[in-house]
Amino acid sequence: MSTEATAARTGRYRPARLRFLQIPALLWLTLVWVALWGDVSFANVLGGLLVAVVVCLAFPLPPVRTQLRVRPISLVWLVAYFLADLVRASIEVAWTTLRLRYQPRNAVVEVNLRTNSDFVLAVVAEMVTLVPGSIVVDVRRFTHTLFLHVLDAKDMAGVEKARARVLAQERRVVLALGGATGHLAGEHAGQPSDREPPPETVERDAP
């Protein structure tokens, strides 16, 4: 008996296209859709789910092992801190843009994440980009490196501050959703672990 027939009889076989309907991807795309509309309603959630299904079927991706483990308290802290970060960054960006004859000095910063997880890489990149004043311009998956454009990084202290925010965001994501957190033991928010070298960073002036 063929593998396909055996799988069909055991109920574990799905058509090729349906195998790309991964629950984590559907949930994440639906969440992004609702966030873009800024309104949590049944119609928006249903519409986001339908869009997520169409996207997964039209642009199929190989299965991603997320090793997801939800920790409710840490997840609440992650969401609360992210919302507070949105408010703080919005005020800072508004103040920077409204200052007359002030020319902000921007930079492109390279940050190596400590977690070898594509899921964490994607979530951190999305959350960093959604916060005003910073945007991810490039990602290196094999080294888990983010390149982000930072608004008004005046000096090395500003660059270090931007890097610390990304690493702190990674830490909160891992504590809330990551499968393993041992590599974060002994770290303060955004500070390097003693067991791992600090990430190399390249900064240059950007327009």
Contact in structure between 184 and 169 (CB atoms under 8 Å): no
Q: Can you tell me which residue has the tokens 């999305």? A: 126
For β-strands 106-112 and 134-140, DSSP reports them as unpaired
Q: If you average pLDDT over residues 16-27, what whole number do you get?
A: 69
Instruction: Please give the pLDDT value at position 166.
Output: 93
Q: What is the DSSP string of 138-167?
A: EEETTTTEEEEEETT--SHHHHHHHHHHHH
Lowest mean pLDDT of 10-14, 16-20, 79-83, 200-204, name the range.
Answer: 200-204
Instruction: Please give the pLDDT value at position 112.
Output: 92
Residues of the chain with pLDDT > 90, as a percent, come to 26
Instruction: Please give the pLDDT value at position 182.
Output: 63
The structural domains of the chain, with segments of one domain joined by +, span: 3-58, 72-206
Q: pTM to 2 decimals?
A: 0.61
Q: Write out pLDDT tens, residues 111-166.
A: 999 888 888 888 999 999 999 989 999 999 889 999 999 988 878 888 889 999 99
